[in-house]
Amino acid sequence: MNDSTYSDLIPAYEHERLEALRPYRVLGTPGQGVFNDFVSVVAKLFDVPIALVSLVRESDVVFIGNAGLPEATIVDREDSMCSVAILQDGPAVFDDIPSKPCALVNPFAAQQMDLKFYAGQALRAADGMGIGSLCVLDRKPRQLTKPEGQLLEQLALVATDLLQLQAAQATDATLRARLDGPLHESLTRCAPWPSYANGTRAAKPPTLNGIPTPAWTKPSTWPRPCTAPCK
């Protein structure tokens, strides 16, 4: 990372953040099965072509769950908007990246991958440190509605629980064998769901781990696009 150019991506508590990330380093392989299944469901819920689960490491970002962006496995920290998402309390939203890019990250990275929209919610360790993000992306500008923002926050909690479970399984082969099959089967059953987050369906929305999708509404200005860290 070029610290002189992208130093604002490094919080004052970076040492503590990296310590909080340490237990999850065993999950540093891109594109892991259960996380791929999970983000495939997330992409369908938001009606977007791309959804990712990332871990933000010291100098790079690894996408351990990847639906729709196979060319991205591990990228430099300054090339990923997930590096900004971990600094935010709520969703970090960039609704029109070409016309309103974030100055904290390399604008050419998103341009090269033809990304026009990003919304990411931080995944937090038990001490509250941001260690990664759950994000949805599109190749066209769009708004994130209030219900969608709330859903993203809820799904980020599910992703965090999944991180903790998978990290525990990584050191217990017996536990992993018992749980991986049911997790994969459960998420695969969810994959055919149509999109409910964009307000175009009249049917009753499904739930994920007991979390209902919110009532659909017309696009609103909430949450506001991420502007504070992008001055």
- Give, in order, the Cα–Cα distances in Å from 30 to each of 42, 66, 107: 18, 8, 23
Q: What is the architecture of the domain spanning 3-196+206-224?
A: 2-Layer Sandwich (3.30)
State the alpha helices, DSSP H only, in 68-215: 82-85, 107-112, 146-170, 173-190
Per-residue pLDDT of the chain (231 residues; tens, 9 = 90+): 544 457 789 999 999 999 999 999 888 889 888 999 999 999 999 999 999 999 999 999 999 999 999 999 999 999 999 999 999 999 999 999 999 998 899 989 999 999 999 999 999 999 999 999 999 999 999 999 999 999 999 999 999 999 998 888 876 665 555 556 655 665 665 555 555 455 544 344 444 444 443 333 333 333 444 544 454
Are 149 and 91 in contact, with CB atoms under 8 Å apart? yes
